[in-house]
Amino acid sequence: MNKISVIIPMYNSQDYIGQCLRSVISQTYRNLEVLVIDDGSTDKSVEICQSYCQKDKRIRLLLQEHGGVSVARNRGLDTAKGAYLFFLDSDDMIHPYLLEELISHARQNQTKFLFCKYKRGDGTQTEEIFPEASMAAEKRGRRKWEEARVGEDVVWFYKRYARELLGIGGKLISREIIGTLRFEESLKRGEDTLFLHELLGKKLWVGCCLYPWYYYRTRPDSLSHSGQTDDEAYLEIYSKVRDTEFESKRFGFAFVWENTIFYLLKKSYTEAVRRKEKQRCCVIKEKAGKERRHPMYRKLSLMTRSVIWLCFYCHPVYLWFIEPFYKRLEEKNNCAGRQG
């Protein structure tokens, strides 16, 4: 019976960590090791976790100075003993059947990377989020799983399940395929995107459970869901992945990231103009100029390049006439949602 190590990075989650842990210890699959890595919380998160440690010996609390979510996750990876690792954020919750469903499918199909669909919201009670009606799909005979054969995993990352593969939360991964791979600790945003991109580049057999049994809570001060106003924080990681795809001559995938980079640059520049942040405008414009010299830029359509030029060199025209027409189309097609 394979042990699952549940890795939960935590920072100032006193309002949510109790519900998170209750959803874990309520799992029908019992062979668990629950690692909560506190990243220097200043609220009552640690005290709450300590009380749960006393109730359930499977829970271990690891303390560290504030170093960021990647440092916390890496410590979990280095400490975990399970054959499979499951990633869960401290403000999220999981359905009581989820881990049993994932590990059963892993054993039966030799699948090394598994995940499920998710729900998003800000609800408060587990029982309200995962009603028994969630089992209705099975009773109607609906397929519960989809499989990506070897070589199809990267297509899932970009197309079929791009939304579900934005972040690491809710992923059950074999320790064997993770190996020495770790989260990039220098990145402030998008570190899990890079981790997943590198992992799925190994040509894995991937499974997706079609039930939305991961509850993803959105809140302003979340450890990994922070609504940062300036999207420039994601540019470093997106540029890295774009360059990797470009160097591998997978231009179709590099094209996705190129569009995403300029979407974020245009969005950030427009925000800076509206706030009259002249220095920030100059910095973003300089970044855009650098990106326009990248070989992938010439692969964008003439219309797209014209819109980009108007944004940075004739912004009033862009703002008054171009932005309203392109905003909805871009949000749909350019994977800008990758920052989660």
Read off φ and ψ for residue 208, nearest 5 degrees: -120, 120
Question: What is the predicted pLDDT for the residue at 222?
Answer: 46
Nearest to 311 by CA among 239, 263, 256, 258: 263
Q: Which of 10-14, 112-116, 329-333 has the lowest mean pLDDT?
A: 329-333
Greatest mean pLDDT among 122-126, 138-142, 242-246 lies in: 242-246
Question: What is the predicted pLDDT for the residue at 228?
Answer: 41
% of the chain at pLDDT higher than 70:
84
Q: What is the DSSP letter of 224?
A: S
Average pLDDT score over the chain = 86
pTM of the complete model: 0.82
C-alpha span between 181 and 274 (Å, rounded): 41
Contacts of residues 51-59 at CB distance under 8 Å and 24 or more positions apart, as own/partner, are 52/18, 52/21, 52/25, 55/25, 56/25, 58/25, 58/32, 58/33, 58/34, 59/21, 59/25, 59/34
Calculate the CA 13 to chain-centre distance. Answer: 18
Read off φ and ψ for residue 191, nearest 5 degrees: -65, -30
Q: How confident is residue 185, by pLDDT bands cut at 50, 70 and 90?
A: very high
Question: What is the predicted pLDDT for the residue at 124?
Answer: 55
Q: What is the pLDDT of residues 48-65, one digit of tens each?
A: 999 999 999 999 999 999
